Amino acid sequence: MLLKVNGKMIARDVELADTLLKRTMGLMFRMNIPQDYAMFFSINKPCKFSIHMFFVPFSLDVFFLDSNYRITQIESLRPWLGLARAKNATLYMVEMAAGSVEKYGLEVGQQMSLENIPS
């Protein structure tokens, strides 16, 4: 899968966190992630959920998305101690390597999309 923002590819390696176990584990216990990686969280119903960085030894940029995949909130989280809560009810969240906001010029209001890689 590819993750794009306003049609521009920002991640080639997208892992879906679409089960309770995957959402709970997130990126815990991993030592790092590649620059072209994203973990895409899909929540069952809109809610104001929280994310923590316990057992995540590297920084992340986190994007909360609405039901139309628009970025509604951006957070930069530090290793181990970072914590963020969605300000609004949300259905999706994306975690990427720290620095992704600056690298791709990401801003609140931009449109994200997931696309399957052609076989």
Threshold 0.85, pTM exceeds? yes
Q: Which CATH class is domain 2-110?
A: mainly beta
Residues 50-107: tens digit of each pLDDT: 999 999 999 999 999 999 999 999 999 999 999 999 999 999 999 999 999 999 999 9
Sketch the domain layout of the chain as residue ranges.
Answer: 2-110
**Closest by CA position to 56, among listed 25, 87, 34, 35:** 25
